[in-house]
Amino acid sequence: MQRRTRPAARDVRRGLVRKPARRLGLLGGTTTWSDFAAALRLLARPRALVEGRFVAAYEVEFAATIGVRHAVSFAHGRVGLYGILRALGIGPGDEVLVPVPTHIVVPNAVRYAGARPVFVDCHPDTWNIDLREAERLVTERTRALLLQHTFGNPADIDGALDLARRHDIHIIEDCVHALGARHRGRLVGSFGTAAFFSTEETKTISSTMGGMAVTDDDAIAASLRAFQERCARPSASLAASYVLKLMGYHLLTQPRLHRYTRPLYEALGRRNPLPGATSIEDRTGVRPPGYEQRLSNAQAELAICQLRRLDANLAHRKRISDVYARVLGPMGGSPPPSHDADRPALVRYPVRVKDRDAVAGAIAPYAVVGLWFTSVLEDAQTPAHGGYTMGACPVAEEAARHLINLPTHPRVTEADAEAIATVTAAAMAAREPNPAEHPPPRTR
């Protein structure tokens, strides 16, 4: 009989085996000690926190990476989307097709521009937009379709471009999960009229917060640049807090330390003094004060460091995803199917499970489980705050009840991935979880 080299999830939950020495976080995994040192140097030069040469340099390098002529940075990806909508003249009376599941800030940007988001359901195996459903929802008021590459797996780009040509609408690529993903050898973000990216702390590279709008259209780029000029610069204290947050996450999510620091992070909750990714205004669909904001020079410098390591970052994520696929594939946990001409760049590895709480509980000693998406509009106080009516997109709503996602970032070793996948598979194989082993979560 073959000796079992990894503990079963049930044994871990019952305390029959020693807890692992390493616990993986979702945050901080893209940074290195050289990034930490760069952040420390930035704090020692407060005059360079807000303004300097790195914003322009970062925009040039980002555009060259994607293979487009123009890249314009903003404080958040959502601000980049808002700027694109403005540049296209989309406003009151217009409609924008928005795939779900997505984040509340995406339909918010559409609504802040004065247009109406029209929500489109997803495919049950890729969680990318169902283009047949999108075409059914096109009206004479439809001006654009947001093409989200969910989890870093390219959507049906060719099909979307064909739909756009037939109906004379714009394709705006939502690449917040998908930096580095390719279709027919080209990076996503280079196919539509324009695209937007995020470098928020959970994405492929992190400047703590940050976004980029890209395009090959000179007129759109000029409008984006004019919009950027009108956006406020962050204060020096806010820029410093972003740098400190990057440093803090780098330290506190070290795998041998995170098992101790994570409970403190959870206990702090919204009392965490560092700036959060989603404000209460965002969650309730109300435009936050200071929404139109630029990226700081310090964040741009930190992002450049990571952008230059993108190929190694993506190669690592591919190796980790391959481990998950090998172990979880027989349990129905294969990666989302992709087109033959695509090369996904999975920012997280998504798995559909029957009992999310049970599986998350089994994985918890090994890693913080990603819960994109627990709602069709992630982080919304309720989907209605983003203009969504429950029942409109049943496939996305079902996904929001059953999706977990596993970390792929550079701190995850292949041994980590093997252990995480093994306990995930054991939990998925369990016929019925024991309720005593999975008490309901405490409410606050």
Beta pairing partners, 342? 183
| Domains within the chain, CATH numbers bracketed | 9-30+246-288+309-429 (3.90.1150.10), 33-230 (3.40.640.10)
Nearest to 386 by CA among 89, 150, 83, 99: 99
Which tokens belong to 236? 């020096």
How do residues 178-212 score in pLDDT, each as one tens digit? 999 999 999 999 999 999 999 999 999 999 999 99
In this prediction, residue 260 has a pLDDT band, given cuts at 50, 70 and 90, of confident
Matching residue, tokens 């998908």: 178
**Residues sharing a CB contact under 8 Å with residue 144, sequence separation 6 or more, in sequence order:** 85, 88, 90, 96, 97, 169, 170, 171, 172, 193
Q: Is 209 left (phi over 0), alpha (psi -120 to 50) or beta?
A: beta
Does residue 438 register a pLDDT over 60?
Answer: no
Does residue 61 register a pLDDT over 50?
Answer: yes
Does residue 7 register a pLDDT over 90?
Answer: no
How do residues 208-257 score in pLDDT, each as one tens digit? 999 999 999 999 999 999 999 999 999 999 999 999 999 999 999 999 88
Our CA dihedral for 346, 351, 357, 360, rounded to 10 degrees, sits at -50
Residues 167-183 have a mean pLDDT of 98
What was the pLDDT predicted at 355? 95
How do residues 85-101 score in pLDDT, each as one tens digit? 999 999 999 999 999 99
Average pLDDT, the chain: 91
Pair 31, 242: CB distance under 8 Å: no
In this prediction, residue 267 has a pLDDT band, given cuts at 50, 70 and 90, of low
What was the pLDDT predicted at 172? 98
What are the φ/ψ torsions at residue 6 (nearest 5 degrees)? Answer: -125, 140
Tell me how long the chain is. Answer: 444
In this prediction, residue 266 has a pLDDT band, given cuts at 50, 70 and 90, of low
**pTM for the structure as a whole:** 0.91
